[in-house]
Structure 1
Amino acid sequence: MTNLFLPILIVALSCGFVICTNVLPCTNVDAPVPEVQVQNCDDMPCVFYINSKTSMTMKFRAPRYLEHFAPNALASVMGVNVTYPLGQDDGCVGVTNTPCPLAENEYIEYTYGMLILPIFPEVSLTMEFSLIDKDLNNTAFECFKVDLQIKKA
């Protein structure tokens, strides 16, 4: 009977007893998928409403000493990949639980918030969100993909 409850316990502990969002791994990053919480989204596709705010939080362990890193977003819409400007050049701004620089294997909580601008069209897309190491040729060290639907409120 104990073996039946072990997987449930592991999931509950890894998400800290909160709802994690089911996300996809990135193919170009050799790291486990971070624990991700997208505001008001448990499962894909996540629905974002035009002219509203949303946020996401990633929880992970720093793979190495990190001093200069930044978020990066790549939107894939109808087979076209477009880099989405996030307006944040310093990833330390989003770290909520510890000061930068980050030590190797340090537990990190990173949050990014954004406004879904009124100029956004109603569309379905896949967003690849990563954190890149600016000291290592902008190499991604954490990454996930999430399917999104942008809709009018």
Structure 2
Amino acid sequence: MKSTIAVAALLSILTVVRGTTVSQCGDIPLPDDVQIENCDQPPCVFYINTTSSMTMTFKTPRKLEHIAPSAVAHVMSIDVSYPLDQDDACDGIVNTECPLDDNQVVEYTYSMFILPIFPEITLTLEFALVDKDQDNEPFECFQVELALKSQP
């Protein structure tokens, strides 16, 4: 019994250690884990004119059928919607298929191209998954500080 508790504690510590540190978006649930490529601690560096990827793991709050990703950049008190090239978040789910059952563990991956028109800047990115059947209500969301930089 003690060994089971010790293993469970170790696994929970490893889960926290392997993910990227992110913040919650208001009262919207935070994913169980977020892993941003080459980033453990913000600010995460995204290079302009390249692709950066992230994976988030979460439990569904209810049955979900039509979901979409959403990204908003918060820059100097201005909110700018970032155009994403994925209308159906089901395309990014790697461990199961849509529709999703209530309380199902889901792993979602998204790769984002950082447009060459962006200047070098630091911003806060808010990334959410929304339920298209519930007026695009976000059901998972995280915020992370990014530093957009030119390639070295």
**C-alpha RMSD over aligned residues:** 2.1
For the residues of structure 2 that align with 1:138 and 1:7, how far apart are their CA atoms? 36
Higher helix fraction (1 or 2): 2
**What is the TM-score with the length of structure 2 in the denominator?**
0.89
User: Contact 1:53 / 1:114 at 8 angstroms: preserved in 2?
Assistant: yes
Q: Identify the residue that residue 139 of structure 1 maps to in structure 2.
A: 137
| SS of residue matched to 2:90 | helix
Q: From 80, 85, 94, give the equivalent of 1:96.
A: 94
The aligned runs of 1:58-137 (5 Å cut-off) are: 58-137=56-135
| SS of residue matched to 2:34 | strand
User: Contact 1:122 / 1:149 at 8 angstroms: preserved in 2?
Assistant: yes
User: Contact 1:126 / 1:147 at 8 angstroms: preserved in 2?
Assistant: yes
For the residues of structure 1 that align with 2:126 and 2:34, how far apart are their CA atoms? 13
**What is the TM-score with the length of structure 1 in the denominator?**
0.89
| Runs of 4+ in structure 1 over 3 Å off | 2-9
| SS of residue matched to 1:67 | coil
Q: From 6, 9, 12, give the equivalent of 1:10.
A: 12
- In the TM superposition, residue 133 of structure 1 has moved relative to its aligned partner by 0.4
For the residues of structure 1 that align with 2:25 and 2:145, how far apart are their CA atoms? 13
**How many percent of aligned residue pairs carry the same amino acid?**
51
- Structure 1 residue ranges without an equivalent (≥5): none
- In the TM superposition, residue 7 of structure 1 has moved relative to its aligned partner by 5.9
Mean CA deviation greater in 59-68 or 111-120: 111-120
For the residues of structure 1 that align with 2:107 and 2:11, how far apart are their CA atoms? 21
How many residue pairs match? The answer is 148
For the residues of structure 1 that align with 2:139 and 2:85, how far apart are their CA atoms? 19
- Structure 2 residue ranges without an equivalent (≥5): none
